[in-house]
Amino acid sequence: MKIALAQLNYHIGNFEQNTFKIIQAIEKAKEQGAELVVFAELSVCGYPPQDFLEFNEFIDLCEQSAQQIKDACKDIACIIGLPTKNSKIEGKDLYNSAYFIHNQEIKAVINKALLPNYDIFDEYRYFEPALKFGCINYKGVKIALTICEDLWNINDNPLYIANPMDELINEAPHLMINIAASPFSYMHDDERVAILSDNCKKYNLPLLYVNQVGSQTEIIFDGGSLAFNEKGELLDEMAYFEEDLKLYEFADGNIIGHVVKQHIPQSDIEQIHHALILGIKDYFKKSGFTKAVLGLSGGIDSALVCALASEALGPENVMAVLMPSEYSTDHSIKDALDLVTNLGCKHEIVAIKEAASAFENMMKPIFKDLPFNIAEENIQARSRAIIVMAMSNKFGYILLNTSNKSECSVGYGTLYGDMAGAIGVIGDVYKTQVYKLCEYINRDKEIIPINSIVKPPSAELRPGQKDSDSLPEYDILDGLLYQYIELKKTSAQIIAMGFDEVLVRRVLKMVNVAEFKRYQTPPILRVSPKAFGMGRRMPIVGKYLS
């Protein structure tokens, strides 16, 4: 049997586009001689649909799209993912389902059993878990069809009390197929390959795994659909960060025509780069926007975001606004202008001294003779936000936020100032990773000025200011933050690793106190295993400090 895996980029709730893509892929697979074409989890509506699932019309439109796909599925079979209604009064109203369609008929409905409810996932909020299991019989091949998480309960610390494949194996299937919506993080691809390989070894079955690709606001899907033999050896992996359709032949109990290969992942930085480019592209395309604006300071963070946006959207669609203050250095302005020249993007220069002075004069009767402090610094940052938001409103630009994860973690940023924006491009990228990303972008030629990379980082809101005046050196800070945020270690555990006790307690307190700021910042493109936003939910007024 020839089986095609269709790795597509879906748009949540865009039924017309998703249905068109699926039908188009069915026709393409049929032209290539496929007898079965497989699509990803919730492919009909896009993943994750979140509270759209609470609208009856949304579910009805899913079914209507499925019927259109069914009518187009002639002389071939397909597997699609969609939410379906639970006919029983008991339990949740919906299942996370897969339709097996052959010759314009829905031959089988498979429901997902293991519903993830951790990190970014919230499936148990909407779906009822499956309790019944059965294989699909097609052209003499018995297929154990599972949906994403259904294959992830195989490690030494099971999250669920059930395992769907333990039930399905009793029917002696010939092949496993798993349809997935498996989000990207730069640490996830190795884990994914290992988990799927373990399933093949445990059940002595080959596996075809299809993942979706594309970005849904902050969540990015990297594709990388996979094929394994019954020994758990990797036979093939499809493209990463782009759509793909590939044909596999199943015969004599295995996937043939492929030699065993080793999974050689891209470097973390290369993966993050591709993910951020895809995240920016899809955020703009799926939201109906084309042009971006950002504040360009001459520093490394805004330089990186400007370079990424220019690559993703085209430099002609990026407006960089230089907003020097009275404390900005000449070299910062030059570095910003050099970047604009290298990229070919648009730019404007709007000095903020006059605006900041006007605000300070307005506040003099209230501030009286109190010394210059963070209040005046933040007036400058918020003056800049007013300028870029004015340009956004006037010209239809979408504001990109340029705060990095190190700053977001400890609250080193001005709420309603440099923390403003529609999407946080590097808010899940630590400062030390920012440097590596700039080096990666400069791998063939200098795009980001070297001076922006090597000079000490500074907000330039007071004379001679440096980040190190307020924060530890970033290599120390980022290592500490990673242990706390990604690995969820306690202060005692981090101190035991050799970090200074006073520093640990200070930094962790800064992280927790800044929670109210993060609640009011834009969605952040997720590239790590633990990003701020929907994947990390902390109380604002919580007293606990680990």
Quote the CA–CA distance of 476 and 272 in Å, as a whole number. Answer: 21
Options 73, 78, 135, 148, the catalytic residue? 148
521 — phi, psi (to 5°)?
A: -105, 170
Q: Does the annotation mark 501 as catalytic?
A: no
Quote the CA–CA distance of 131 and 80 in Å, as a whole number. Answer: 20
414 — phi, psi (to 5°)?
A: -100, 115
DSSP per residue, 396-417: --EEEE---HHHHHHT-S-TTT
Quote the CA–CA distance of 437 and 168 in Å, as a whole number. Answer: 45
How many other CB atoms sit within 10 Å of the CB of residue 82? 25
Cβ atoms 25, 10 nearer than 8 A: no
Cβ atoms 18, 291 nearer than 8 A: no
Q: Does the annotation mark 306 as catalytic?
A: no
Residue 213 bridge partners (DSSP): 9, 222
Quote the CA–CA distance of 137 and 144 in Å, as a whole number. Answer: 9
DSSP per residue, 47-102: S--GGGGG-HHHHHHHHHHHHHHHHH--SSEEEEEEEEE--SSSS-SEEEEEEEEE
In 227-369, which residue ranges form alpha helices assigned H by DSSP?
268-287, 300-313, 330-343, 353-367
Options 21, 112, 286, 431, the catalytic residue? 112
How many other CB atoms sit within 10 Å of the CB of residue 360? 15
Quote the CA–CA distance of 154 and 149 in Å, as a whole number. Answer: 10
Q: Does the annotation mark 148 as catalytic?
A: yes
Residue 223 bridge partners (DSSP): 240
**Residue corresponding to tokens 């597509």:** 8
Q: What angle do CA 472, 409, 337 make, to 5 degrees?
A: 75
Residues 6+ apart with CB under 8 A from 59: 53, 83, 84, 85, 94
State the catalytic residues. Answer: 41, 112, 148
